[in-house]
Structure 1
Amino acid sequence: MSHDEGTVRATTAAELRDLASRVAAGLRGLGAGEGDRVVVSLPNGIELLAAVWACVATGRVPVPLDPRLTPHERGPIIEDVSPAVVLDSLVGFAALVGGEREELDPEPRCRPMHFTSGTTGRPKGVWSGFWDPADARSAVLEERDLWGFAATDVNLVLSPLYHSAPLRFALGTALAGGAVAVLPAFTPEGFCEAVERLRPTTMFCVPAHLQRLLAHLQEAPTPDLSSFRLVAHAGAPCPEPIRRGAHELFGTDVVWEFYGSTEGQFTACSAQEWIDHPGTVGRARPGRVITVDAEDELWCAVPPWGRFSYWNYPGRTAQAWRDTPDGPAFTVGDLGRVDDAGYVYLDSRRTDLIISGGVNVYPAEVEAALVEVPGVVEVAVFGRPDERWGQRVAAAYVGDASESELRDAAAQRLAPPKRPKEYEQVSALPRTATGKVRRTEL
């Protein structure tokens, strides 16, 4: 299948299901059985979606990974999950797909295991466990009821499918019988061409996509966007001018945002609700209860299918969960408040987290890659405001290493979104009385 922007097409649910069933048979031929992990590290395309569907609908556990990960980043994850199969090229994918088919369950048996980094710098696999048929059905219907996925939908995928949100929207559409079209990479020109030709009805995006699109449309004609019934954005705080621009472009009855993480979903918010309650990220999704603790940390009680653990990381799992009167609740460390009407407001993201173009970047992971450079005494990584990406990654370091040496190390060890865009050599890092680096000062 071509990955040229001009040949992007809408793949029907029937085509996608057939491809997934052939992938499943190919995985069986390679010895991947129920419960086995399958690493899926493919370019953005229908193949990636089919491989994930093949796994979740046959009891295998897909582990979607960014194909840009360096061996330094990818190696520990591969070791952690001990995959039966690693799909990391379209050539390998094509060799896997033959004429045999394996029957797919009507609903997924589990969520894909996405990896999210942490403040320790160690990537953590978010594992849902296997669902029984009732929970599997409930998990699918929750998304379908919230977003209205239907057989008449055409979901346009702008973001990398190894991320949880775009994958949920694409697979949710296909499970409802709708079609999916995947842009290999987002460009405003490619988006406009796909909209005119494919007439998509839904899309998920991050604020950086909206910002680039709005800037492009200042100089180019606006395509007919009337086919959209749902434009959902998340992944980073959305600047108010971008948000209002999206409302005007697509319509307040079309635009939604939501607040969530790889671990789970918290809220959903229509454009009208945001207009009526400026600054909110919405109210708890159905079946969830959001509360704050004495430290203003947000906790979300979830239905049974919303439970997760961190793969091979029981200590971190225990820290993420606690029992509440509303049932087991988890936190990802975000701070906020809930008003009397149930609307949630984020006061701050985790203080160490940088969100660049919708991608979570944890300073500890970047610091661990850079501190080993000869001549680096210590290094602190932090985010700076960026009009296009929301935040850009920056690094301050003590030592006599050169900036080019640090950039070379980052290129070898870190995927592009994690590589600092700026380096600053300092005599000392600012610290609190207890010795913690004051990232806000940087």
Structure 2
Amino acid sequence: MIAEAVERVAAAQPGRAAIVTAEAALTYGELRERSWRTWAAIGDGVAAISLASAFHTARIVAALAAHGGIVAALDPRWPLAQRVQTITTCGVAVLVTDDAELERALRDAAWAGRTLDLEALERTERASTTASRTTAPGTTAPSTTAPIARPPCERPDDEPFLLLFSSGTTGAPKAFLKTCGQYRANVAVSRRRLGAHDGTVTFAPGPLSSSLTLYTLLEALATGGTVHLADALDDLWLTPQAAGVTRLVTIPAALHALVHAARRDPHRFAGLELIVTGGASLPPPLHAAVGEALPAARLVNYYGAGELGFIGKTRHGAELRLFDGVEAQVRDGDERLPEGGLGTLWIRSASCSDRYLVPPQPIMDAGGWATVHDRARLRGRTLELAGRDGDVVTTGGHTVSLLHVEQAFEGMPGLGAVCAVPLPHRHLGIAIALVVEGDAPPTPALRSWAAERLAPASRPRRWLRVERLPRTTGGKIRRAETAALVREEAS
């Protein structure tokens, strides 16, 4: 997938940019020469990367994804205990990190793997020009008895190459594997539907531990494109027009910053032709604002999950159309619901993973249907999303989607991000509270807005304000953590 594209572009246009960051850049010619040495230096088995540098994380991930082994990008901002647990329970054999505290914690945990800092890695890469190498999982330092043979260009479809993690919006991230074949199926969708083509220059702000940013890196290289990376979503406004960026991939929440920046300086973003968003629904008012600020750019929002791959393209709010090759069912327990029924969404496609590794938990059933426990209604090949299990609550005998409550407040002047959460109620069992972020309209105005747009059972009964809602490192709001804050305040 990646190795084939790198070889092809490096042979035809070795000077074409492959990976670009504010720190450094690599051309396809440089990536071809360096990536197999990186692979030789690290070895096969499971390798984890926990670095502050987006550039070095990207080049190492690209090398291992292309040539061998399984690679995981760990966010250095994750709690130390979480990173230690991930490394010690997921079979990691090699860790590349610049975090001395993490190294000490792993020694204290009696982890038996090998650690490399960047200096040691680069020294080993240089030595790899004359060193031989074994390919057994968990290999340590290479010996120096014979020249290295370059790795094969193509990895088989059933070979796992990425260790990914769930988004963590409903709890601690869970680990799962992706195979080369599953990602080839994803890349085929990107080519057909999401504008990933040979020579396309894409900007992807956000941490590489986010499956959205990580996939964009691999997708760009697999299609012969150029990817510009930034360490944080806050760097979105730095998009360089001079670099020839024509495509942006990010989460919907980041579009607010883009709209404000484009309104201040519309010429800076004049080169953008396509904006691709994923990871959350795209509010219609935000879609309209992007269209006004960047009329030359086409906006595409897709729905998918790291575990399931691409599922469909958003049409109106939470409604979407399934991509070709994707089958869907909606179930209540083991029972398949009739058309229009609200239940748990199950997907069958070539991109689905089968299970979580830690903790062990199935994603896929015996029939090849997989779920991440999203709630939805299905009519033909049109899906209407209603959030995750836990995002749908029963209050006073009525079933209410918390996602739909939040969507009702989209477009309210002066209102930023919101999160609807369930709270215990003496008479109703569960009542809905709306938590608003930062400055917001007064409570009477919020109540009036809700009364005009929501059925009585769906209207929030409590209204709270926080300076900043809890979020994952990828920018998604953590509903469970928000609810815990509200309960703590109430007590």
Which bracket does the TM-score occupy, shorter chain normalised? 0.5 to 0.7
User: Distance between the aligned counterparts of 2:53 and 2:319, measured in 1?
Assistant: 29
The 1:179/1:208 distance shift into structure 2, 3 A limit, reads same
Alignment partner, residue 138 of structure 2: none
2:331 is the alignment partner of 1:306: no
The 1:266/1:290 distance shift into structure 2, 3 A limit, reads farther
2:208 is the alignment partner of 1:161: yes
Alignment partner, residue 285 of structure 1: 323
Structure 2 counterparts to residues 188-337 of structure 1, below 5 A: 190-218=235-263, 220-251=264-295, 254-269=298-313, 274=315, 278-294=316-332, 296-303=343-350, 305-314=351-360, 316-317=361-362, 320-323=363-366, 328-337=368-377
Cα deviation, residue 56, structure 1:
2.1
Residue of structure 2 aligned with 1:384, choices 428, 432, 435: 435
The 1:212/1:192 distance shift into structure 2, 3 A limit, reads closer
User: Distance between the aligned counterparts of 1:120 and 1:424, measured in 2?
Assistant: 16
Q: Cα deviation per residue 1:176-211 (whole Å; 9 max; x = unaligned)?
A: 221121122233xx5444332212122211122101
The 1:210/1:8 distance shift into structure 2, 3 A limit, reads farther
Residue of structure 2 aligned with 1:174, choices 214, 217, 221: 221
User: Distance between the aligned counterparts of 2:232 and 2:169, measured in 1?
Assistant: 29
Alignment partner, residue 351 of structure 1: 390
Max Rg structure = 2
The answer on whether the counterparts of 1:287 and 1:302 sit within 8 Å (CA) in structure 2 is yes
- Say what the alpha-carbon RMSD is for the aligned residues: 3.8
Q: Cα deviation per residue 1:337-365 (whole Å; 9 max; x = unaligned)?
A: 1223x12111233326999xxxxx9x9xx
Counterpart amino acid of residue 262 in structure 1: G
The answer on whether the counterparts of 1:280 and 1:345 sit within 8 Å (CA) in structure 2 is yes
The answer on whether the counterparts of 2:273 and 2:296 sit within 8 Å (CA) in structure 1 is no
Identity %: 22
Alignment partner, residue 58 of structure 2: 49
Cα deviation, residue 44, structure 1:
5.0
Alignment partner, residue 378 of structure 2: 338
Q: Cα deviation per residue 1:221-242 (whole Å; 9 max; x = unaligned)?
A: 2234343332111222333221
The 1:10/1:58 distance shift into structure 2, 3 A limit, reads closer
Give 3-state SS (helix, strand or coil) of 2:240's partner. Answer: helix
Indicate the structure whose relative CO is greater, using CA pairs within 8 Å and at least 6 residues apart. 1
User: Distance between the aligned counterparts of 2:324 and 2:54, measured in 1?
Assistant: 31
Give 3-state SS (helix, strand or coil) of 1:16's partner. Answer: helix
User: Distance between the aligned counterparts of 1:25 and 1:84, measured in 2?
Assistant: 14
Q: Cα deviation per residue 1:395-433 (whole Å; 9 max; x = unaligned)?
A: xxxxxxxxxxxxxxx9xxx9897796894576987xxxx
Alignment partner, residue 432 of structure 1: none
Residue of structure 1 aligned with 2:93, choices 84, 107, 111: 84
2:73 is the alignment partner of 1:64: yes
Residue of structure 2 aligned with 1:18, choices 28, 33, 36: 33
The 1:383/1:66 distance shift into structure 2, 3 A limit, reads farther
Q: Cα deviation per residue 1:266-321 (whole Å; 9 max; x = unaligned)?
A: 43326xxx2xxx22442222321122113511111112x5333211544x21xx32
The answer on whether the counterparts of 2:72 and 2:163 sit within 8 Å (CA) in structure 1 is yes
The 1:339/1:14 distance shift into structure 2, 3 A limit, reads farther
Q: Normalising by structure 1, what TM-score?
A: 0.68
Structure 1: gaps (5+ residues)? 356-360, 364-381, 389-409, 430-442
Counterpart amino acid of residue 92 in structure 1: D
2:166 is the alignment partner of 1:116: yes
Counterpart amino acid of residue 60 in structure 2: A
Give 3-state SS (helix, strand or coil) of 2:151's partner. Answer: coil
User: Distance between the aligned counterparts of 1:77 and 1:11, measured in 2?
Assistant: 30
Q: Normalising by structure 2, what TM-score?
A: 0.62
Counterpart amino acid of residue 435 in structure 2: R
Structure 2 counterparts to residues 87-98 of structure 1, below 5 A: 87-89=96-98, 92-97=117-122, 98=125
Alignment partner, residue 395 of structure 1: none
Give 3-state SS (helix, strand or coil) of 1:105's partner. Answer: coil
User: Distance between the aligned counterparts of 1:143 and 1:384, measured in 2?
Assistant: 36
The answer on whether the counterparts of 1:52 and 1:112 sit within 8 Å (CA) in structure 2 is no
User: Distance between the aligned counterparts of 1:119 and 1:215, measured in 2?
Assistant: 27
Cα deviation, residue 214, structure 1:
1.8
The 1:199/1:329 distance shift into structure 2, 3 A limit, reads same
User: Distance between the aligned counterparts of 1:239 and 1:415, measured in 2?
Assistant: 21
Alignment partner, residue 377 of structure 1: none
The answer on whether the counterparts of 1:13 and 1:179 sit within 8 Å (CA) in structure 2 is no
2:191 is the alignment partner of 1:144: yes
2:171 is the alignment partner of 1:126: no
The 1:94/1:344 distance shift into structure 2, 3 A limit, reads farther
The 1:350/1:145 distance shift into structure 2, 3 A limit, reads same
Counterpart amino acid of residue 374 in structure 2: D
Cα deviation, residue 252, structure 1:
7.7
The 1:14/1:242 distance shift into structure 2, 3 A limit, reads farther
Worse-superposed segment, 243-252 or 78-87: 243-252
Give 3-state SS (helix, strand or coil) of 2:92's partner. Answer: coil
User: Distance between the aligned counterparts of 2:120 and 2:434, measured in 1?
Assistant: 42
Cα deviation, residue 78, structure 1:
1.2
Alignment partner, residue 153 of structure 2: 105
The answer on whether the counterparts of 2:249 and 2:277 sit within 8 Å (CA) in structure 1 is yes
Counterpart amino acid of residue 199 in structure 1: G
Residue of structure 2 aligned with 1:183, choices 202, 227, 230: 230
Alignment partner, residue 38 of structure 1: 47
